[in-house]
């Protein structure tokens, strides 16, 4: 096939032409149906791909580690400007978010979008009495109570236009009526999407597409491995028959019949552990060299490593990888993983902030402004606090203390709260009882003390 062709006297590269026309034709074709389906490669090839991936122990471990790291443990609400108005808003929003039951588990459910492209959560809330400010009485405000996970397979994009233009809307499957109903109000929904490129048609870019082939190929390798397990374990029986024995064609004792009889005897011996044979015959058990098992083991470990690498961007911190790896390499790979986790947390935080955070703020803004007026503050100066999942990276206490000491010796100021947090210790309160606080060691005073033993 020629790599170029002529169009009205102009030479056109066929590869360049196909690069554009193939995508645009597929995009046009996807919107020719009233139902716009998820174009995920894994889903197209196997509708139960996500369930199968989670039944593999190695893949499940890596998936759970990334999901837990992304969901985080703690969260914060922050404003760009540190003002009294914004501080009151932060206290209110923090109190409202604290009302969500099992919020950490709900965030974990949202991280499913990393692997399948998108996830859906329904926000259920009510008006109840809360006390966001210690120096003010309780107020009645709308707060979210729980976030309910709804399977993404219950949501489908449908066209709503007259084919003269492309317009779509989300529909949801009603379990009670077995019908697809338009979603007219998206406010109580959290739609988490990772990789929302145009080619994904709004369903997100699932990491499942990258690791599904690893599971598919690994299953084939394991199937052949389990099929050969009995053969490799029992070995090969090499039977040497005395060909000079007296033959009896009429009696059925030809060499061919004797060979078949021996095959049955050997097969039975594997269970009965007994062989009876002629003294002139020989039976030798030959063990396989293990090449077949090594091939299966190699490909199983290869596909495991490839999948874990795609999920976590690291191998050594999880105990995988061929051969021994240096501690420095493990640290580097762990840092790379943390960067991936931080990017996921940022994406998840933004989508929580735009959904729950915005809903809480919109429904309770009049209450916040009333409290600001009561305190003599400017209601127009308040900003909506932004939700963010706190970084869960753990620090090495010895290294952090060395860095803090070096910074002090260099004349640099160190934030005490941050220094305590990096070594995993809470900072003592300013009014803490002296009997409950261990005072720092005075090294200068110790050097001036007399030796404990004479002559030391």
Answer whether 280's CB lies under 8 Å from 234's CB.
no
pLDDT of residue 280: 66
Domain count, the chain: 3
Answer whether 326's CB lies under 8 Å from 334's CB.
no
Identify whether 257 is part of a domain: yes
Identify whether 404 is part of a domain: yes
Q: Is 40 in the same domain as 131?
A: yes
The structure tokens listed for 204 are 């997100």
- 68: three-class secondary structure by DSSP: helix
Q: Is 177 in the same domain as 302?
A: no
Q: Is 167 in the same domain as 42?
A: yes
Phi then psi for residue 145, to 5 deg, are -110, -40
- Per residue in 130-149, pLDDT (tens digit) is 999 998 899 999 999 999 99
Q: Is 183 in the same domain as 324?
A: no
Q: Minimal CA–CA distance to 369: which of 78, 77, 88, 99? A: 88
Range of the domain at 413: 395-429
Angle CA(278)–CA(284)–CA(287) in degrees, nearest 5? 155
Q: Is 297 in the same domain as 257?
A: yes
CA trace torsion 59, 205, 354, 146 (10° rounding): -40
Question: Which residue would you say has higher pLDDT here, 210 or 440?
Answer: 210
Phi then psi for residue 449, to 5 deg, are -70, 155
pLDDT of residue 320: 56
Q: Is 236 in the same domain as 314?
A: yes
Identify whether 334 is part of a domain: no
Q: Is 175 in the same domain as 72?
A: yes
Q: Is 400 in the same domain as 370?
A: no
pLDDT of residue 122: 96
Q: Is 174 in the same domain as 38?
A: yes
Q: CA-to-CA distance for 419 and 291, rounded, in angstroms?
A: 55
Identify whether 315 is part of a domain: yes
pLDDT (average), residues 304-325? 71
pLDDT class of 456 with cuts at 50, 70, 90: very low
Q: Is 169 in the same domain as 140?
A: yes
State in Å, rounded, how far the first CA of the chain is from the last one. 93
> Which contacts qualify for 227-236: CB closer than 8 Å, 24 or more apart?
228/292, 228/293, 228/296, 231/288, 232/288, 232/290, 232/292, 232/293, 234/270, 235/285, 235/286, 235/287, 235/288, 236/285, 236/286, 236/287, 236/288
Identify whether 145 is part of a domain: yes
The structure tokens listed for 260 are 């078949």
The residue assigned the tokens 């990491």 is: 207
Report the mean per-residue pLDDT for the chain: 82
Q: Is 152 in the same domain as 72?
A: yes
- Per residue in 15-62, pLDDT (tens digit) is 777 888 889 998 888 888 889 999 999 988 888 999 999 999 999 999
- pTM of the predicted model as reported, rounded to 2 decimal places: 0.75
Q: Is 360 in the same domain as 400?
A: no
């Amino acid at each position: 096939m020629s790599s170029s062709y002529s169009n009205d006297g102009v030479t056109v590269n066929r590869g360049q032409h196909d690069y554009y026309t193939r995508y645009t034709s597929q995009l046009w074709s996807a919107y020719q149906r009233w139902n716009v389906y998820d174009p995920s490669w894994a889903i197209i090839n196997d509708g139960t791909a996500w369930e199968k991936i989670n039944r593999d122990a190695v893949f499940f471990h890596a998936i759970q580690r990334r999901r837990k790291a992304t969901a985080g443990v703690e969260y914060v609400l922050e404003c760009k400007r540190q003002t009294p108005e914004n501080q009151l808003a932060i206290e209110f929003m923090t109190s409202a978010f604290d009302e969500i039951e099992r919020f950490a588990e709900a965030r974990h459910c949202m991280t499913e979008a990393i692997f399948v492209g998108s996830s859906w959560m329904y926000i259920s809330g009510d008006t109840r009495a809360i006390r966001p400010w210690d120096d003010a009485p309780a107020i009645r405000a709308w707060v979210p109570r729980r976030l309910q996970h709804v399977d993404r397979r219950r949501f489908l994009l449908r066209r709503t236009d007259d084919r003269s233009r492309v317009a779509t809307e989300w529909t949801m499957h009603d379990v009670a009526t077995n019908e697809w109903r338009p979603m007219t109000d998206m406010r109580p929904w959290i739609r988490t999407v990772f990789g929302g490129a145009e080619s994904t048609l709004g369903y997100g870019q699932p990491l499942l597409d990258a690791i599904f082939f690893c599971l598919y190929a690994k299953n084939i390798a394991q199937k052949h491995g389990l099929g050969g397990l009995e053969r490799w374990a029992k070995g090969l029986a090499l039977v040497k028959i005395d060909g000079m024995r007296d033959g009896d064609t009429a009696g059925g004792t030809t060499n061919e019949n004797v060979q078949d009889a021996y095959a049955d005897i050997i097969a039975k011996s594997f269970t009965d552990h007994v062989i009876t044979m002629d003294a002139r015959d020989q039976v030798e058990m030959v063990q396989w060299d293990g090449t077949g098992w090594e091939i299966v083991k190699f490909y199983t470990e290869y596909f495991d490593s490839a999948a874990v690498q795609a999920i976590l961007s690291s191998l050594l911190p999880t105990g995988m990888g061929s051969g021994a790896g240096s501690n420095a390499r493990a640290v580097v790979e762990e840092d790379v993983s943390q960067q991936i986790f931080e990017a996921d947390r940022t994406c998840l935080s933004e989508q929580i902030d735009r959904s729950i955070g915005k809903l809480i703020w919109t429904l309770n803004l009049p209450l916040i402004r009333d409290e600001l007026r009561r305190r003599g503050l400017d209601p127009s100066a308040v900003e909506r606090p932004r939700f963010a999942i706190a970084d869960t990276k753990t620090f090495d206490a010895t290294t952090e203390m060395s860095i803090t000491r070096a910074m002090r010796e260099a004349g640099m100021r160190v934030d005490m709260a941050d220094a305590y947090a990096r070594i995993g210790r809470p900072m003592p309160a300013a009014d803490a009882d002296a009997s409950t606080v261990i005072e720092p060691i005075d090294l200068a005073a110790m050097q001036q003390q007399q030796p404990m033993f004479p002559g030391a």
